[in-house]
Amino acid sequence: MRQGWRWFGPEAPVTLDEVRQTGATNIVSSLHQVPIGRAWTEREVRERQSLIETTPADRSPLIWSVVESIPIPDAVKRKGGEAKAEIEAWIASLEAVAACGIPIVCYNFMPVVDWTRTDLDFVTPTGATAMRFDHERFAAFDLFILERPDAAHHYSDEDRKRARVVYEAMSDDEIADITRIITSALPGSTTEPLTIPAFREKLVAYSGIDATRLRRHLVEFLEAVTPAAEARGVKLTLHPDDPPRSLFGLPRIASTGEDYAALFDAVPSAANGMCYCTGSLGVRADNDLPAIARRFASRIHFAHLRATTREGDGRTFHESAHLEGDADMVAVLRELVAEDRRRSAEDTIVFRSDHGHRMLDDLDKTVTPGYPAIGRMRGLAELRGILHALGAPPS
């Protein structure tokens, strides 16, 4: 298995030399500066690749092996195969990536909002901070800040009462803060930042799109793009929904093992793969993480390894340290190692630690939310230790 690190580009607070110091060897990156829907050019991809892979004589080499992500435009999620121009642009971006020899592309199919949290600096018992999804704060936003017209139908009487108490206790600054966190697109997001009015308009645009229809649109997208990926030796890896359940009444279709099975049955191409994220899938208590890894082992080309801790009834959760929380990381890695040993060196799984705690010196620095250096380095070191114990030291 290969040690990856998500790097947000030359403006990121974490430098490439700092990435080297973590022990990572493979870079996970994207062209975040390119507007969603505009085709990437080979020149743009090569410029980023050169920045990553041109190694000074006294430095360890880095390889850009995963693109995370080529964003899928909203029109594709709403219209499926009818969004021909947007799909053609996406294929052009894929072709640019393939021309540069980058073998793995990650993407997601979450409508309107990408990965979602309500708190970016929840204080843990150690004094480090973590990201958190607080169900009551989310409901307060949905019901009383966004004022989604049919929101009340998606919450119980008790949920609505608790959400009102939470909302009425919020200061103006807290309302502005949670609005910014939810609507402004978190780092690496593949959706556009939104104002409250624009958010409402987006939701209206999804009226009538249920899970069956959204899945059909994803299948139509995959039917269009997987031939290009397969012909060029690129593996497409679908990231799970985060959190893996409906938000704002919108369907989500990559939340369970059965969701993935339906997509692999519909589009059996070897290029149609999975980004196996223990953090996203692990939020649901009914997702058996080792079993999912075993079931779809041959489809896993990229892994996000992190842990979350479910709170209360499980609808609230926070990011935990990588070897804590609800994920049995040893069991997960045992499954991934078993699969990796069946593969050639060129096809080995790339993994990265994810969503580390903000801790030590990073508490006093400007960091990318969810992606501080020290917390992720701790996580990578812990994962590396498990792999050594399993007799499979990573490269």
Band of the pLDDT at 193, cuts 50, 70, 90? Answer: confident
Q: Is 275 a catalytic residue?
A: no
Q: Is 304 a catalytic residue?
A: yes
Residue 141 has pLDDT above 80, yes or no: yes
Q: In whole angstroms, what is the distance from residue 235 CA to residue 102 CA?
A: 10
Band of the pLDDT at 190, cuts 50, 70, 90? Answer: low
Band of the pLDDT at 186, cuts 50, 70, 90? Answer: low
Q: In whole angstroms, what is the distance from residue 294 CA to residue 186 CA?
A: 31
Phi–psi pair at 294, nearest 5 degrees: -70, -40
8-state DSSP, 267? S
Average pLDDT, the chain: 96
Q: Does residue 251 belong to any structural domain of this protein?
A: yes
Question: Of 389, 386, 354, which Cα lies nearest the Cα of 6?
Answer: 354
Identify how many contiguous H helices and E strands the chain contains and give both numbers. 14, 12
Residue 189 has pLDDT above 90, yes or no: no
Residue range 26-54: mean pLDDT, rounded: 97
Residue range 56-84: mean pLDDT, rounded: 96
Q: Does residue 137 belong to any structural domain of this protein?
A: no
CATH no. for residue 280?
3.20.20.150
Q: What is the pTM of this model?
A: 0.96
Domain span holding position 58: 2-117+201-389
Domain count across the chain: 1
pLDDT of residue 187: 64
Contact 285, 314 (CB under 8 A): yes
Alpha-carbon torsion, ordered 386, 388, 390, 393, to 10 deg: 120
Q: Does residue 134 belong to any structural domain of this protein?
A: no
239, 318, 322, 357: which is the annotated catalytic residue?
239
Q: Does residue 286 belong to any structural domain of this protein?
A: yes
Q: How many CB atoms lie under 10 A from the CB of residue 249? A: 15
Q: Does residue 130 belong to any structural domain of this protein?
A: no
Over pLDDT 70: what percentage of the chain?
Answer: 98
Residue 191 has pLDDT above 80, yes or no: no
Q: What is the pLDDT of residues 129-140, one digit of tens each?
A: 999 999 999 999
Q: What is the pLDDT of residues 157-169, one digit of tens each?
A: 999 999 999 999 9
Band of the pLDDT at 34, cuts 50, 70, 90? Answer: very high
pLDDT of residue 192: 75
74, 142, 242, 354: which is the annotated catalytic residue?
354
135, 217, 304, 322: which is the annotated catalytic residue?
304
pLDDT of residue 320: 97
Contact 340, 1 (CB under 8 A): yes
Band of the pLDDT at 173, cuts 50, 70, 90? Answer: very high
Residue type, 151: A
Q: Is 322 a catalytic residue?
A: no
Q: Is 355 a catalytic residue?
A: yes
114, 217, 277, 362: which is the annotated catalytic residue?
277
Q: What is the pLDDT of residues 231-276, one digit of tens each?
A: 999 999 999 999 999 999 999 999 999 999 999 999 999 999 999 9
Task: Provide the token pair at 278.
Answer: 């223990």
8-state DSSP, 141? I
Alpha-carbon torsion, ordered 114, 91, 101, 45, to 10 deg: -70
Q: What is the DSSP string of 298-352?
A: GGEEEEEE-EEEEETTTTEEEEE-TTSTT--HHHHHHHHHHHHTTS-GGGPPEEE
Q: What is the pLDDT of residues 83-135, one digit of tens each?
A: 999 999 999 999 999 999 999 999 999 999 988 999 999 999 999 999 999 99
135, 301, 355, 357: which is the annotated catalytic residue?
355
